[in-house]
Amino acid sequence: MRKFVNVVLCLTAVAGTVWSGTQIWQVLSGRHQINEACAGLVPAGRVLSLSPAGGTISHRVADEGTIELDAGLPQDCEIFSTEAGEKYGTDSGERWFFTAAVGTLPDDDPVIPEDPVDSLLNEWGDHTYPDQPLGGGIAGVVTDTGVTVELPCPEGEAYGPVKTLWSRASLMDPGPPFTEDGQPTAHDRNTLARIAVTTANNLAGRLGCADRLPDPPQDIPALTEGPLPVSRADGTCAWYREAGFARQPRLADQVLESRPDELLWDETCGLALSDERAAEVAYSDAARRADVDHPSRPGTWFASFHTYSGEGAKNVQLRRTIPRESPTLAEPGKAGRGGDDSVWWASSVCDGRPQIHTMTIAWQYDELTTPAYEKVFRAYVDDVTHRRGCTDLKFPAHATFTEQASS
C-alpha cells in the first residue's frame, strides 16, 4: 500500500510538472508573439490577461498587421488566440481577438462628420453606446471595443515633425463570450486602458518625446446605452434640455451624449427622433407636401454635433452627396455649409488651439427642419465655446440655413 501511494504521488507530481511546464511555455511563447508583432511597444503581460487571450497565442504575419516603425506610421499589430477560436467555434481553431494601433499627428487622414444618410443608432438593432472620455487628466476615449489615447509630443520626430502621438488598444469583435451587454467587461475595459497608455508612453520613448501619460483611472465605468430622453440629458447635450428645444414638435426628443471633457479631440452630442416623434413629423402636412418618406429604422432622422480640437480641427472635411465632387474643407477661422449638403461648420479658438464645430441634419428630415436648427446649432456652439473659454467665434450666415427651404 505504501509503495502504491508513493507511485501515485510521483505520477501526480510528474503530471503537475508537465502541466505547469506547458503553461509556462504557452505564456513565454505568447509574450514572444506579442513582442514580435508589436515591436515591443505593447505590454504583452496585460494583453495575455484579456478574457479572450487563452490557449496558444499567435500574430498575423503579413505586411499589414505587424508594427514596423521603420516603415512609417500609422501601424497596427493583430493578435490571435486558440481559446477565442474555440469559444466562437471557428474552423481554424484560432481567432483574431486583439489589435494595437499607433500613429502620429498631423497626418493626411481627413476628419469626417456624419453624412446626412448615416444613422446614429446601430443599424442592426444592437446596443448603441456613445463614446465616453477616459478621464484622469488623459486625452482619451472609451468605446464599446477599446480605448484610444493621445499624448502631446511637439519635439518628436517620425518621418517629419510630430505634434501629437496616439495609441489604441481594442478587442476585435469580442462578441457574447467575452462581453457584457455588448461591451467589454470591467476587467477588459480597465486592461485595455492600461495597454493604450503604456503603448503611448513606450512610443513616446522611441520618438524622443519628453512627456508621458499618467496611469489611467482604476475603475472605468461601463458605457451608458443610448439614446436617452432629452429630460435625462446632463452631459454634452445638457444645453439642448436646458433650452427646451424638444418641446418643438419637429425637433429631436432623444439624445446620445457623453461626459464633457475639454481634452477630447472630438466631443459629440447626438440628437435623435423617437419612433413616436418621427411618425408625428413624417405624417404631418409639411411632410406630405415635401413628399418625405417615413424613416425606415430608428436613428435615421437625427441632428449630430461635433467639436474637433487641435490637429484634427485642421483637416475636417464635409462629404458631398453628389458623386465626383470634392468635399468642402471646414477651415479654421471661417464658417459655412458643405455645398448643398445639410452639414454646417463654425469655428473658434480655445486656449490657442483651433476648434471646428459641425452640425449634420439627416437626409429628408432636413427638408422639414433646417431653418429651426439654426438656433439649435447656435445654442450648441455657444455652450461649447463658453465651457472651453473660446474666442474668435465664426458662425455660418443666416442664408445658409434658408436656401434649401426656399429651393
Total count of residues recorded for the chain: 407
Distance CA 288, CA 150 (A): 48
pLDDT at residue number 22:
57
| Full-model pTM | 0.90
- Dihedral angle of Cα 384, 386, 387, 390, to the nearest 10 degrees: 80
Q: CB of 72 within 8 A of CB of 107?
A: no
Mean pLDDT of 97-118: 94
pLDDT at residue number 322:
64
User: What pLDDT digit, counting tens, does each position of 252-298 carry?
Assistant: 999 999 999 999 999 999 999 999 999 999 999 989 898 998 888 88
Distance CA 215, CA 124 (A): 36
Amino acid type, 59: H
CA distances from 159 to 41, 105, 106, 272, 298 (A): 18, 11, 11, 43, 45
Answer whether residue 101 shows pLDDT above 50: yes
| Neighbouring C-beta atoms of residue 160, cutoff 10 Å | 11
Q: CB of 172 within 8 A of CB of 97?
A: yes
> Cα–chain-centroid distance for residue 366?
26
What sections of 208-273 are H helices per DSSP?
Answer: 238-243
The three grid cell numbers given for residue 158, joined into one nine-digit string:
517620425
pLDDT at residue number 235:
97
Distance CA 163, CA 161 (A): 7
Distance CA 269, CA 304 (A): 6
What sections of 79-126 are H helices per DSSP?
Answer: 82-88
Mean pLDDT of 383-396: 97
Distance CA 116, CA 197 (A): 35
Distance CA 146, CA 171 (A): 6
Unique residue bearing C-alpha cell 461601463: 222
Mean pLDDT of 7-26: 51
Dihedrals phi, psi of 88, to nearest 5 degrees: -90, -15
- By mean pLDDT, which of 6-10, 270-274, 385-389 is the weakest? 6-10
Q: CB of 216 within 8 A of CB of 134?
A: yes
User: What pLDDT digit, counting tens, does each position of 25-52 carry?
Assistant: 567 888 999 999 999 999 999 999 999 9
